[in-house]
Amino acid sequence: MISSPLSPSGRPVKLACRNLWKIYGLPPQEAADVARTGDPAALQRERDGRKPLAAVAGASFDIHEAEIFVLMGLSGSGKSTLLRCLTRLIEPSGGSVTLDGENLLAVGRGRMTELRRKAMGMVFQNFGLLPHLNVLDNVAFPLRVQGIDRTAREARAREMTELVGLEGREAQFPSQLSGGQQQRVGIARSLAAEPEIWFLDEPFSALDPLIRRQMQDEFIRLQKILRKTIVFVTHDVQEAFRLADRIAIMRDGAIVQIGTPAEIALAPANGYIAEFLRDVPLLRVIRAVDVMRPVTGDGQAMPRFTTEDVLEDILPTLLGGAAAVSICDADGNRVGEISAAEMSGFFGSDRAIPA
Amino acid sequence: MKPGNALSSASALLKMAAMPALMLASLAAAKAVPPIAAFPANWTIPVPAGINAVLGWLVPAIQPVTSLIGKLAGALLSTLIGILQFLPWPVVALAVALIGFKAGGIRLAALVLAAVVYIVLAGFWMQSMATLSLVILAVPLSVSLGFLLGLGAFFLPRLRQGLELAFDFMQTFPAFAYLLPLLLLFGFGPIAGLVTTAIYAIPPMARCTLSGLVEVPRERLEVAEMSGCSTWQRLVWVELPSARPMLALGLNQTTMAALSMVITASIIGGFDDIGWVVLSGLRQADLGKSLLAGLVIVLISVIVDRITAGLFRSPATSGTRIGGLSWPAVLAVAGAALVLGAAARLAAPHLLQGWNETRGIVDFGLINEVLLGFVARYSDVLDAIKNAVLFYLVLPLRVGLAGAVLPITWGFSMTPAVAAAYAALALLFALRQMTKGRPSAAAAILCLAALLYTGLVAFPWPAAVALAVWAAWRAAGLRLALFTGLSLAFVLATGLWVPFVKSLYLVVVAVALCALAGGLLGVLAARSDRFSALLRPVNDALQTMPQFVFLIPALMFFKVGEFAGLIAIALYAVVPAIRYTETGLRNVSPTLLETARQLGCTPLQSTFLVQLPTARPALLLGLNQVIMAAITMLPIAATVGTAELGQQIYVALGKADAGLGVTAGLVFCLLAINLDRILRGVAGRLRSAQ
């Protein structure tokens, strides 16, 4: 499988996480030891009648610039805890988190505050709006914290409010807004200080399904404009596969598989993940570039598709009688080919590696 | 039966049987061993003398500072009184009505104007302004100190438990108990009253501040963190605004507490304010004057309550501003009116002075006649009620069924046959609980039956202590059991056991009366919206009335004596009973009620079989509040002739024995705090069982 030239994996690493642990129920020093050695036995012994819990167990991953990195898992999988460890809202027990090479877990309180003000933005599941401030003041809040004067911060806040489509509502209060509108305010606020990394903790989970879809569309539109480095937490498989550049699937605190949606769809690491995939419209996830046979030459009169076209678009042509299709890159050069015979093989075999 | 089961059921039996066994043993031993029947005097420690010694050293040490503060505060108070009494009353009415309009609309403004007219017509203007000055000084002091203490408790979690205990003491320590040292420290004048008011009024603000800050939603704090807030920014921009409703409640409650306490300033004398009018009226049996003056306090309380409640309505939730006026505009106009009034007074001094100092048009003598006539007409009914409660409730609790059941009162006497029948009845009830699988309830019934038989006063103190400690342990664990044990040991050591027990039974009877009457009214209010709406203003008025005012109807109908005290306490404490019953019943989930109806329950069955049991934790909390209210009313009721701890404090005041006063006050607090914690523990157990 060839990685598409548009994939983020080629870009520099923005946020790197190595062997991150968060253990509840152990004193900090002991927890740090467990984190360093990774000894599972230490977690089995009971203290005070309770077993220690590893909410995050040795997570490691790289997030590249302008990549949408999704942490996905069920409740209790540790994804929200992991997110909070990355921002140090929760202090990790061990491991390292580096932002542009700077180890966040080693910096002092002042530097962390500065980083939070200038480099990070976060969107919360239950919106987290301050009810006593109107929309404009809520959006301007991070700028006020930095000490920016009123005219400058209100101008910037208006820009952001307009960006999320709420112009005209600046003077309204959160209690007068719908859930979707409140989350837009939350999004505007998180972007007000032009953060380098954008954290979103289940931002659309508290909205009803129709609004959720609209917000996902909004999110995709914003990312096309802003090109932020994003860490996105969700429990919704379809949301993850729809939005992500790469997904990290979590279970019981550990990362079970990391990959692009297509990679996971084509080769789930175990039966647990294969179960998740049953709800995912794979034909919309898997692109031509993920399954094509690399080929050069001019391809005669075969129907042409691009590398980014999804199987859903290509399949009707193949089923309609074409023996094979050409896959071309963005410049129009032929780079691969998919044949109908391969496709039937693809659907026939079981893709999951037995658990 | 497995060995483990046998062991556990044996230990359960032991636990259950231990209490009644201990009790019976001490009852039997009481006859033979005098120290068990009555705590011997030579085992007591001279705590009052000790406290006097400490005070004798402490007071002169800090007096220079405190008397200076007292003089400054006194000067401030006099200035304030001077100003308020100087301004012509129409101008003050206008200013306050404007503030009332802004805070509560046209209705509140109308109430203000009506109140002012009433005060002037009754001839109480000058005294009302004196009271108002005291309130104006006391409230900001209490609010700011309370706020700072609440902040302190929030930032220093380790201190929280200690501070909460301190708050309990501040709210339950009877003011009269520590009045003497305060008088010595701050001088003989209203300032000592100001300090007692502040001490009593600080805890509500402190508690509400703490509660509001602690309850800020987790997510909002994360927002503050992720926006990069410093601790100060987070406090001022996120935590305090989020705590606003609780802060507003604290302001309101502290103000009410200050108002109810402000009369103590008058006990000292030498301060001509409304409280003094009420008290002197009571002392001279001029009940009409007391009543009308009491009404003034009620009106001031209600108005201040409504104004403070309306002050901090958040703009986001209230929407538009009332009347389209902003606060600065209102205050500016009010201020201008006052200045105009001052100028007018300077221009026409004699006329306006006469306006303020008018004797009013009310003839108190006439009112007294009417009241006394009313009482005389119904004296038979009133006597019957009084005797019924005394013979069937108060006396049995005090001297036990053994002493109270006499031919004249109950119609038969306590022969051995009757006693045996009583014991059999108690055993029957206990067995019934056993069959239901509740051994501790069975044990409790046996103990209470024995208690009722001997009466609280004659109940042997070892058994009483054991019973209390056991109850505390079952309710809230070892820690409370230890606290209760130590508290009771202290009470015994001070030699105040008998007054303590008498206070206890007075509280029990009052609470029983309240629970019955209040519970019934609450059930009715829960079932009928109209009745509830009718009851609400009555409840509001009763809750804002300062405690002394309740003595007036009690004295009016029942003359000086224990029963009057009982009635006063019951009147004061009945409102929580009504409120909590109604709220508890109304909060029962509608789904549950629908289910009950569907199963074929009549409304009565629904109330008693479904609603009341489900609402038990709320009812218990209400019971707790009733007990607290009853206890805080005790010292005041002592002024009309009860014979317990409150009376000890009063006597100490009269003898200028600060040590005795403080000791009795401490015992008092311990009674309140222990009862409160035990009940809360029971409520907690019930709630977690649900």
**For chain B, how many residues are written?**
690
- B309 min Cα distance to partner chain A (Å): 18
- CA separation (Å) from A77 to A241, A251, A254? 18, 5, 8
What pLDDT was estimated at residue B185? 85
**For chain A, how many residues are written?**
355
What pLDDT was estimated at residue A5? 43
| Mutation to test the A interface, candidates B222, B226, B238, most A Cβ within 10 Å | B226
Name the pairing type of β-strands A246-251 and A254-259: antiparallel
DSSP code string of A284-321: HH-BHHHHPEE--S--TT--EEETT-BHHHHHHHHHTT
The sign one gets for the Cα dihedral B176, B178, B181, B185 is negative
Decide if A145 and B244 are in contact by the 8 Å CB cutoff.
no
What pLDDT was estimated at residue B153? 93
ipTM of the complex: 0.83
CA–CA distance, A246 with A242 (Å, rounded to integer): 11
> Hey, what are B187's tokens?
């001088």
Of A159 and B434, the one with more pLDDT: A159
- Is the model's pLDDT at B646 over the cut of 80? no
Q: Touching check for A126 and chain B: CB below 8 Å? A: yes
Residues of A whose CB is below 8 A from B219: 124-126, 128
Q: What percent of chain B has pLDDT over 90?
A: 9
Buried b (16+ CB within 10 A) or exposed e, A315-354: bebbeeebebbbbbbeeeebbbbbbbeebeeeeeeeebee
> Hey, what are A219's tokens?
């999110």
- Is the model's pLDDT at B193 over the cut of 50? yes
Q: Touching check for A44 and chain B: CB below 8 Å? A: no
Average per-residue pLDDT for chain B: 81
Question: How many interface pairs between A and B have CB atoms less than 8 angstroms apart?
Answer: 66
- Is the model's pLDDT at B368 over the cut of 50? yes
What pLDDT was estimated at residue B666? 87
The sign one gets for the Cα dihedral B528, B530, B533, B538 is negative
What pLDDT was estimated at residue A104? 92
Domain ranges of chain B: 67-357, 367-400+476-690, 401-454
DSSP code string of A158-198: HHHHHHTT-TT-TT--GGGS-HHHHHHHHHHHHHTT--SEE
Most confident of the following: A130-139, B507-516, B635-644: A130-139
Give the angle subtended at the CA of B400 by the CAs of B38 and B627, to the nearest 5°.
90
Buried b (16+ CB within 10 A) or exposed e, A245-277: bbbbbbbebebbbbbbbbbbbbebbeeebbebb
Decide if B241 and A175 are in contact by the 8 Å CB cutoff.
no
What pLDDT was estimated at residue A20? 93
Counting DSSP H helices and E strands in chain B, the numbers are 35, 0
Q: What percent of chain B has pLDDT over 70?
A: 92
- Is the model's pLDDT at B316 over the cut of 50? no
For B241, the closest of A125, A130, A146 (CB atoms) is: A130
Q: Residue A202 contacts by C-beta under 8 Å, 6 or more apart in sequence?
A: A80, A125, A233, A234, A235
Lowest mean pLDDT among B160-174, B304-318, B398-412: B304-318
**Closest-CA residue in chain A for B236?**
A145
What pLDDT was estimated at residue A354? 45
Name the pairing type of β-strands A120-123 and A197-201: parallel
What is the location of CATH 3.40.50.300 in chain A? 13-283
- Could you tell me what percentage of chain B is helix, strand and coil, using 3-state DSSP and rounding each to the nearest 5? 85, 0, 15
Residue B361, Cα to own-chain centre: how many angstroms? 35
Lowest mean pLDDT among A305-309, A324-328, B654-658: B654-658
What pLDDT was estimated at residue B312? 65
Neighbours of A309 (CB within 10 A): 16
Phi, psi torsion values for B162, nearest 5 degrees: -60, -40
Q: Touching check for A116 and chain B: CB below 8 Å? A: yes
CA–CA distance, B17 with B5 (Å, rounded to integer): 18
- B520 min Cα distance to partner chain A (Å): 39
Q: Tell me, which fold does domain B67-357 have in CATH?
A: MetI-like fold (1.10.3720)
Decide if B219 and A173 are in contact by the 8 Å CB cutoff.
no
What pLDDT was estimated at residue A146? 92
- B264-315 confidence digits (pLDDT tens): 667 766 678 888 888 788 778 787 888 888 888 888 888 888 888 777 664 4
What is the location of CATH 3.10.580.10 in chain A? 285-351
Residues of B whose CB is below 8 A from A114: 228
What pLDDT was estimated at residue A348? 53
What pLDDT was estimated at residue B270? 65
Phi-psi domain of B493 (left: phi exceeds 0; alpha: psi -120 through 50; beta: other): alpha
Element at A247 (helix H, strand E): strand A246-251
- B417-441 confidence digits (pLDDT tens): 888 888 888 888 888 887 877 766 7
With CA atoms as reference, report the closest residue to A299 among A335, A263, A253, A331. A335
pLDDT band at B318 (very low <50, low <70, confident <90, very high): very low
Name the pairing type of β-strands A102-103 and A94-99: antiparallel
**Whether CATH 3.40.50.300 fits A13-283:** yes
Decide if B244 and A126 are in contact by the 8 Å CB cutoff.
no
- Is the model's pLDDT at B410 over the cut of 80? no
Decide if A175 and B316 are in contact by the 8 Å CB cutoff.
yes
DSSP code string of B116-174: HHHHHHHT-HHHHHHHHHHHHHHHHHHHHHHHHHHHHHHH-GGGHHHHHHHHHHHHHS-
Of B39 and A36, the one with more pLDDT: A36
Q: Residue B657 contacts by C-beta under 8 Å, 6 or more apart in sequence?
A: B48, B52, B180
What pLDDT was estimated at residue B383? 82
Q: Please answer whether residues B464 and B512 qualify as being in contact, where contact means their C-beta atoms are separated by less than 8 angstroms.
A: no
Neighbours of A37 (CB within 10 A): 11
Q: Please answer whether residues B458 and B661 qualify as being in contact, where contact means their C-beta atoms are separated by less than 8 angstroms.
A: no
Residue B327, Cα to own-chain centre: how many angstroms? 34
CATH of B367-400+476-690, one of 1.10.1240.10, 1.10.3720.10, 3.30.70.141, 3.30.56.10: 1.10.3720.10
| Mutation to test the B interface, candidates A87, A130, A136, most B Cβ within 10 Å | A130
What pLDDT was estimated at residue B559? 74
CA–CA distance, B270 with A79 (Å, rounded to integer): 70
CA–CA distance, B682 with B173 (Å, rounded to integer): 24
pLDDT band at B335 (very low <50, low <70, confident <90, very high): confident
CA–CA distance, A14 with A62 (Å, rounded to integer): 8
> Hey, what are A180's tokens?
């979707």
- Is the model's pLDDT at A270 over the cut of 70? yes
Decide if A113 and B228 are in contact by the 8 Å CB cutoff.
yes
Most confident of the following: B105-119, B533-547, B648-662: B105-119
Most confident of the following: B238-247, B406-415, B610-619: B238-247
- B582-615 confidence digits (pLDDT tens): 888 887 778 888 888 888 888 888 878 888 888 8
CATH of A285-351, one of 3.10.20.600, 3.40.1410.10, 3.10.580.10, 3.30.365.10: 3.10.580.10
For B241, the closest of A124, A132, A134 (CB atoms) is: A132
Residues of B whose CB is below 8 A from A120: 226
Residues 64-93 (A) with a CB less than 8 A from some CB of B: 84, 87, 89
Give the angle subtended at the CA of A121 by the CAs of A118 and B238, to the nearest 5°.
90
Name the pairing type of β-strands A53-64 and A197-201: unpaired
Q: Touching check for A346 and chain B: CB below 8 Å? A: no
